[in-house]
Amino acid sequence: MAINIPGIDTAKGLDLFDGDEKNYLIVLRSWLTNSPAVLDKLRNVSAETLANYKVSIHNIKGTCANVGAEDLRIKARKLEEMAKAGDIAGILSENDAFLKQAETVLAEAKNWLDKN
């Protein structure tokens, strides 16, 4: 079956699993299930919550890589670098756009999985 999900490079994701579509879909479903809770942890970042933000953005970056959500992974990496530098202003300027894009990609993945 052709996996075509906007925002996800499924070929890149499948490569991580040596083309094993079954295992890739297991990881994709896990990503879909677990990512909303992680994204919730990324909301309302402040100087006081920066340590937790660093962990959460690192986790979402890794899971984006696992499914082939490359654009999200790149943006998460940038946010992670800002978090490590303590750049709250930079995070605040880009975090909402990242969250909206991530939610859109998750919705696309859910839609595809529901239809297939």
Q: Where are the alpha helices (DSSP H) in 68-87?
A: 70-85
The DSSP call for residue 68 is: T
What distance in Å separates the CA atoms of residue 5 and residue 7, rounded to the nearest whole number?
6
The whole model's pTM is what? Answer: 0.91
pLDDT digits (tens, 9 = 90+) for 16-30: 999 999 999 999 999
For residue 1, name the pLDDT band (cuts at 50, 70, 90).
low
Q: 60 near 89, Cβ under 8 Å?
A: no
How many Cα atoms are found within 13 Å in the side-chain-facing hemisphere of 16? 19
- CA atoms of 84 and 89, how far apart (whole Å): 13
Whether pLDDT at 67 is above 90:
yes
In tens, the pLDDT along 68-96 reads 999 999 999 999 999 999 999 999 999 99
- Rounded to whole angstroms, the Cα distance separating 62 from 108 reads 19
**What does CATH list as the number for 10-110?**
1.20.120
Per-domain residue ranges for the chain?
Answer: 10-110
